[in-house]
Amino acid sequence: MIEKNRICPVNIHWRLYPLEDAFRAWQGLGFERIELWAGAPHFLLGWEGYQDCGPVKEAMKARGLSPAALLIESVSYPFGLCCSVPGVWEKSVEYFKNGVRAAKELGAPLAVLSCAGGLFDRGKELAKERALSALRQIAETAEEEGVTVAVQTLAPDQSFVYNTLGELKELLDGVSSPRVRACLDICAMRTAGETLDQWFDALGDDIVHIHFTDGRPAGRLVWGEGLHPLDEYLKTIEERGYRGCLGLDLNVRGNWFDPAYLDEEKGWTGRFHAPGNYWFFPEGADSKALEALTPYIGKGE
């Protein structure tokens, strides 16, 4: 059984709605802790600075919510830890440092990020060198601010660099900071053909956060809409003594438009969105995710 206050919705699939709408919905669903996605338009974070954290903190507090983690956007924006372009890489490092500082101001003990942005034709090793160098600098900021950075792997459709447990462990060993640890992303793990036991065997208590969603094996779906064994995963997490949060990082990509509206002659994909995309009914997706997990929620939270 898991405590409800360890289940954290994430606002990334709310990006077409005001952040306050997400807070209102989560309060209504009885959530207490959240993972705040630090991406525009919900939270403006850049290499030069970031928005005033005060109003966001007050909005969370007014809805009875507290941040378990700040999820720094690491893929969609031009700021990537693996970037090898002079000038851009330095700004990317400052961007992630600011994410750590914002996490501290918001009251989030964790800043979650991933390593992306490498140039494919420059090769994987150069991208890894850039990520390692960047994380060593970010670790210094994390140590100063008292925030733990949790690094996750990504599926190959998001990044060609850190896709496996072995690669992530090599990175964490290279950084060698108590403030840089691991976020286990279920979909990335399953895409790599790995298991929860392998992750806990390799990293143990260094796993400080889990992105806990269904998938086929990727997709970050609501539980019950993918192929992952929910019963088995929750049992393993409990047996392994993991006490961190489970982030519901729902983020369906693709299928923005219903294929039925495809018109090849006119070269467009349609005018109507596919109703199955969480971006268009985020509250419904969060409600379904919670419903799937409810049988496993203990009464003593």
Give tens-digit pLDDT for 226-240. 889 999 999 999 999
Give the Cα separation of 31 and 39 in Å (integer): 21
pLDDT at 262: 56
- The pTM of this model reads 0.92
Q: Is the pLDDT of residue 268 over 60?
A: no
Residue 237 class from Cβ within 10 Å (0-12 exposed, 13-18 middle, 19+ buried)? Answer: buried
pLDDT at 82: 85
Give the Cα separation of 183 and 249 in Å (integer): 12
Give the Cα separation of 64 and 32 in Å (integer): 6
Give tens-digit pLDDT for 51-78. 999 999 999 999 999 999 999 998 876 6
Q: Which CATH number fits domain 4-296: 1.20.120.1760, 3.20.20.150, 3.20.20.450, 1.10.645.10?
A: 3.20.20.150
Mean local confidence (pLDDT), 253-269? 54
Q: Mean pLDDT for the chain?
A: 90
Q: How confident is the model at residue 301 (pLDDT cuts 50, 70, 90)?
A: very low
Q: Which two tokens stand for residue 50?
A: 């970031």
